[in-house]
């Protein structure tokens, strides 16, 4: 009788089921990562909850003790910061994805431009703002500033930059017409029909855009399986369709 009672209690207790996996992920992954997680759950994987934000904010939350199982950053720098705190499971870190940086306009008929040292980006703003993610903290903003500085364009536009807490918020400024131009990831631009890509930043104008992923100390057992799935061919096809570069 005691055994039967214990079995009934375990069946009714949420912990008896597969533990939920908590993923902290860069805002630019919203959409494709949701679809990859749905594919994971559809094949019997543990349920997943994803918290999206700028990588800097997520890294600080993890360092402060937030209960993440898996961290996917849009920048090696912020993964390095978490690893320096001793919070990354040894041997679990890997580069999951790559991306590119583009200039977008809110005008559907905007003409394409060649992004280089001769581009008069300040004049293109026509008194408006250049939307970017936080240039000192958020990876998309950091990559964008590095590209603009390397091309000699930063000083001309710095006073006109409208900074947002993450790259999706910067994209929304352009999509809504609040800013005429923005610097965002190529994958974000693809996902927003209200903006037009008018230029692609040279790959050598900024550090390579990489998305490292790693398990966080104390992670639920199922998180390792999810990380392997996200690194595998099925999830890779989902990310590639969204425009991400997938390591071979």
Task: Say if residues 77 and 205 touch (Cβ distance below 8 Å).
Answer: no
Buried b (16+ CB within 10 A) or exposed e, 51-65: ebbbbbbbbbbbeee
Residue with tokens 């009934």: 8
The H or E element that residue 171 is part of is helix 167-175
- What 3-state class would DSSP assign to 235? helix
Using CA atoms, how far apart are residues 14 and 182, in angstroms rounded to an integer? 45
Nearest residue to 238 via CA among 21, 26, 29: 29
Binding site for molybdate: residue ranges?
28, 55, 140, 167, 185
Using CA atoms, how far apart are residues 239 and 188, in angstroms rounded to an integer? 12
For residue 170, CA distances in Å to 123, 157, 201 come to: 20, 16, 17
Binding site: residue ranges?
28, 55, 140, 167, 185
Q: Which residues pair with 79 in a beta bridge?
A: none
């Amino acid at each position: 009788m005691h055994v039967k009672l214990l079995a009934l209690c375990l069946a009714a207790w949420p912990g008896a089921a597969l533990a939920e996996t908590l993923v902290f992920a860069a805002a630019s992954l919203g959409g494709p990562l949701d679809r990859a997680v749905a594919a994971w759950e559809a094949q019997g994987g543990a349920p997943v909850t994803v918290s999206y934000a700028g990588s800097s904010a997520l890294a600080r939350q993890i360092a402060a003790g937030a209960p993440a199982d898996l961290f996917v950053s849009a920048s090696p720098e912020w993964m390095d910061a978490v690893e320096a705190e001793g919070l990354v499971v040894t041997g679990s870190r890997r580069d999951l994805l790559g991306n590119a940086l583009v200039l977008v306009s809110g005008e559907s008929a905007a003409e394409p431009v060649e992004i280089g040292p001769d581009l008069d980006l300040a004049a293109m703003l026509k008194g408006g703002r250049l939307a970017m993610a936080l240039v000192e903290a958020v990876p998309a903003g950091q990559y964008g500033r590095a590209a603009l500085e390397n091309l000699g364009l930063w000083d001309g536009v710095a006073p006109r930059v409208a900074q947002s807490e993450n790259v999706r918020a910067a994209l929304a400024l352009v999509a809504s017409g609040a800013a005429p131009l923005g610097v965002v990831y190529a994958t974000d631009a693809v996902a927003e029909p209200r903006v037009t890509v008018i230029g692609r930043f040279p790959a050598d104008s900024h550090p390579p855009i990489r998305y490292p992923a790693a398990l966080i100390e104390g992670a639920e057992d199922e998180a390792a399986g999810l990380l392997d799935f996200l690194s595998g061919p099925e999830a890779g096809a989902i990310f590639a369709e969204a425009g991400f570069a997938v390591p071979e």
